[in-house]
């Protein structure tokens, strides 16, 4: 049986899965990403996950990474997401030193989540769709049948988290000001909460405390409103069959989903013709999509 190793690198954790050709996760491994320690530590921890999953039958490895990714060279370009020193990291070259007997592919993390959802999940019936991953940051992917994933001229296309939501707004790690990522991501909520209260809490705590914490309630209300406005712009720019929303923040959707849809319907000129749906595979999407990429390239 042919197998693939799929790695999903996030701002908080690294998820790894041993994937079969049916998209089943045979084996899992997970570790903290420790992104604040920089690229060497992150690469070391990715290697540890790969070794934990390695077994007979593995034909290739895909790393899903945040940031602008040169998929041909397997390298992070100028923007590396929320990982310290990640910009410029030659992921494929570094990992090939240890795993030189296997093909290694590197892809943007939102793109591999989109591959999973189109293969087996919420987007399997769509010929065109957008994928949003709401986690530490905001990832994006654009998929069109007969074309596949949109990369752009210099591998910087579909960076939907870096569309400007508020001109001259909050400083983003990408160098711009007012990016979507600074308003509708887990890190953004944490930062804004700490600014208002001088208390550091995780995004999960903030979302879960809205019934007893008025500041948290106000932030999540604004989060939902911003997300609805953002979806309006995406609908008008791309007119896809659907937008699939995944990432870690989607686990709290019972708190904000209906308000997001209300905001979207309030702001959009025509709410018909585009589905807005939660991802099916949630945190598993990155691993499964990474495995799918291996099979697409090698089988």
DSSP states of 154-198 as a string? TS-TT-GGGSBSSTT-SB-TTS-BSBGGGTSSHHHHHHHHHHHHS
pLDDT value at residue 136: 84
pLDDT of residue 163: 96
For residues 222 and 292, membership in a common domain is answered with no
In sequence order, the β-bridge partners of residue 130 are: 142, 243
Q: Which domain holds residue 184?
A: 126-279
Q: Are 293 and 7 in contact (CB under 8 A)?
A: no
Q: Is residue 117 part of a domain?
A: no
Length of the chain: 299
Residue 118 lies in a domain: no
The confidence score (pLDDT) of residue 82 equals 75
For position 112, what pLDDT does the model report? Answer: 96
Instruction: Give the number of domains in the chain.
Output: 2
| Token pair of 71 as six digits | 């998929």
Same domain, 64 and 166: no
The first and second tokens of residue 21, run together, are 């050709």
| 265 and 133 in a common domain | yes
pLDDT tens digits, one per residue of 87-114: 999 999 999 999 999 999 999 999 999 9
pLDDT value for 173: 87
Q: pTM score, two decimals?
A: 0.91
pLDDT of residue 94: 97
CB 31 within 8 A of CB 45: yes
Please tell me whether residues 15 and 147 are part of one structural domain. Answer: no
H or E stretch including 61? strand 58-65
Low pLDDT (below 70) residues in the chain: none
Q: Is 244 in the same domain as 262?
A: yes
% of residues, the chain, pLDDT over 70: 100
**3-state secondary structure at position 13:** strand
- 3-class secondary structure, 81: coil
Residues 223 and 107 in one domain: no
The predicted structure's pLDDT at residue 129:
98
Domain identity same for 50 and 134: no
Q: Is residue 42 part of a domain?
A: yes
Identify the pLDDT of residue 238. 96
Backbone CA torsion sign across 83, 89, 92, 94:
negative
Q: What gap in Å lies between CA 115 and CA 143, rounded to an integer?
A: 9
Q: Is residue 69 part of a domain?
A: yes
Residues 287 and 211 in one domain: no
Query: Are residues 163 and 263 located together in one domain of the fold?
Result: yes
C-beta separation of 125 from 109 below 8 A: no
CB 227 within 8 A of CB 184: yes
One domain for residues 102 and 230:
no
The whole-angstrom separation of Cα 52 and Cα 81 is: 26
Q: Are residues 292 and 274 in the same domain?
A: no
Q: Which CATH number characterizes residue 219's domain? A: 3.30.420.40
pLDDT at 35 (0 to 100): 87
Q: Is residue 121 part of a domain?
A: no
pLDDT at 119: 96
- C-beta separation of 58 from 102 below 8 A: yes
Quick one: pLDDT at residue 146?
86
Determine, yes or no, domain membership for 226. yes
């Amino acid at each position: 049986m042919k197998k693939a190793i799929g790695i999903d690198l996030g701002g908080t954790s690294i998820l790894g899965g041993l994937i079969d050709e049916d998209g089943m996760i045979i084996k899992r491994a997970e570790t903290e990403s420790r992104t604040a320690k920089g690229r060497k530590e992150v690469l070391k921890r990715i290697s540890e996950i790969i070794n934990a999953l390695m077994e007979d039958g593995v034909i290739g490895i895909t790393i899903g990474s945040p940031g602008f990714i040169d998929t041909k060279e397997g390298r992070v370009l100028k923007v590396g997401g929320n990982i310290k020193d990640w910009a410029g990291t030659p992921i494929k070259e570094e990992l090939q030193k240890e795993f030189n007997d296997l093909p290694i592919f590197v892809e943007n993390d939102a793109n591999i989540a989109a591959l999973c959802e189109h293969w087996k999940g919420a987007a399997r019936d769509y010929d065109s769709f957008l994928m949003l991953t709401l986690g530490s940051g905001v990832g994006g992917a654009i998929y069109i049948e007969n074309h596949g994933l949109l990369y752009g001229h210099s591998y910087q296309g579909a960076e939907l988290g870096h569309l400007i939501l508020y001109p001259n707004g909050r400083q983003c790690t990408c160098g711009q000001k007012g990016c979507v990522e600074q308003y509708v991501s887990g890190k953004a909520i944490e930062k804004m909460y700490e600014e208002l209260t001088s208390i550091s809490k995780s995004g999960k705590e903030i979302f879960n405390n809205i019934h007893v914490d008025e500041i948290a309630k106000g932030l999540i209300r604004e989060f939902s409103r911003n997300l609805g406005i953002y979806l309006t712009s995406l609908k008008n720019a791309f007119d896809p069959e659907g937008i699939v929303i995944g990432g870690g923040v989607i686990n709290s959707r019972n708190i904000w989903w209906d308000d997001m849809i209300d905001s979207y319907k309030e702001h959009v000129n025509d709410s018909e013709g585009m589905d807005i749906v939660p991802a099916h595979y949630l945190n598993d999407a990155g691993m499964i999509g990474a495995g799918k990429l291996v099979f697409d390239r090698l089988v």
